[in-house]
Amino acid sequence: MTDDFLLETRGLTREFSGFTAVNKVDLRVRRHSIHALIGPNGAGKTTCFNLITKFLQPSSGAILLDGRDITRTKPADVARLGMVRSFQISATFPQLTSLENVEVALQRSLGRSFHFWRSKRTLAPLREQAMTLLDDVGLAFAANRVVADLPYGQKRALELATTLALNPEMLLLDEPTAGMGREDVARTVALIRRISPNRTILMVEHNLSVVADLSDRITVLARGEILAEGAYGAISTDPRVKEAYMGKGEPAHV
């Protein structure tokens, strides 16, 4: 059980025209755990996410999901394998309503997404589930609002609801609480905790109190390389970690 890693990267490396953004990263995320990936700005966290979800092709290294090599898998197929990501810059469908945003994710399970001859009304059975998901993130009141009109924090919450709509086995959350007010952060933390049993979560987060609250294990990334790994207590007192943050002139904002 201790060696049960759902996600594993081996020597994951990505270069951008000579600049190595991610350098030989060996990441192991234990099944049913919440694993935080932290590090100063530009450390390569988002690039790691892009590599793992195959939005970027690694320069070298391998990625294994549940023991299966997904290094050559297409990004849409990674999602179909049950690993779904969110984006650092909130990713929604702005001209659709909140409800429609969630429906887009839900309707994949119906297997009718190519049915161009059917009415959209055939999606009605999804409505109840979509409303429940919106309610979970505190957005039921905005169900019929066009997303472009929502404030940033609510867009983030919607993105989380949309991600959860796929009921993924593994979630990659890129700064899920960024841009949220205190209350929304608390709600999001509670929600992540609530959905975490039976799921595996890899999370990039700058808010260290959220990290302390939620994560079972933490990996610190700096300049594309793994600097330290361990539980919050060990990481927060590690002098190398402190230096990495200070050196960048970026004190950890708690």
Ligand X SMILES: Nc1ncnc2c1ncn2[C@@H]1O[C@H](COP(=O)(O)OP(=O)(O)OP(=O)(O)O)[C@@H](O)[C@H]1O
Q: Which residues bind ligand X (CB under 6 A)?
A: 16, 21, 39, 41-47, 88
Q: Which stretch binds other proteins (CB under 8 A): 18-26, 97-105, 135-143, 232-240?
A: 97-105
Told to check if 46 binds other proteins by CB under 8 A, we report no
Our CB check for other proteins shows the closer of 19 and 117 to be 117
> Is the CA virtual torsion 82, 86, 87, 91 positive or negative?
positive
Instruction: Provide long-range contacts, Cβ within 8 A and 24+ apart, for 184-193.
Output: 184/138, 184/153, 184/154, 184/156, 184/157, 185/210, 187/137, 187/138, 187/157, 188/137, 188/156, 188/157, 188/160, 189/213, 189/214, 191/136, 191/137, 191/160, 192/34
- Tell me which of 6, 25, 29, 46 binds Mg ion, using CB under 5 A: 46
Q: Which does 35 bind (CB under 5 to 8 A by kind): ligand X, other proteins, Mg ion, none?
A: none
Told to check if 90 binds Mg ion by CB under 5 A, we report no
Told to check if 110 binds other proteins by CB under 8 A, we report yes
Please report how close the Cβ of residue 186 comes to other proteins at its closest, in angstroms: 26
Told to check if 240 binds other proteins by CB under 8 A, we report no
For 66, phi and psi rounded to 5 degrees? 55, 40
Q: Which does 41 bind (CB under 5 to 8 A by kind): other proteins, Mg ion, ligand X, none?
A: ligand X
Please report how close the Cβ of residue 68 comes to other proteins at its closest, in angstroms: 16
**35 alpha-carbon distance from chain centroid:** 11
Q: Which stretch binds other proteins (CB under 8 A): 26-34, 118-126, 183-191, 232-240?
A: 118-126
Told to check if 112 binds other proteins by CB under 8 A, we report yes
- Tell me which of 59, 88, 167, 196 binds Mg ion, using CB under 5 A: 88
Q: Which does 6 bind (CB under 5 to 8 A by kind): ligand X, other proteins, Mg ion, none?
A: none
Residues near other proteins (CB under 8 A) are 53, 55, 74-77, 79-80, 84-87, 91-96, 100, 103-105, 107-108, 110, 112-120, 122-123, 162, 166
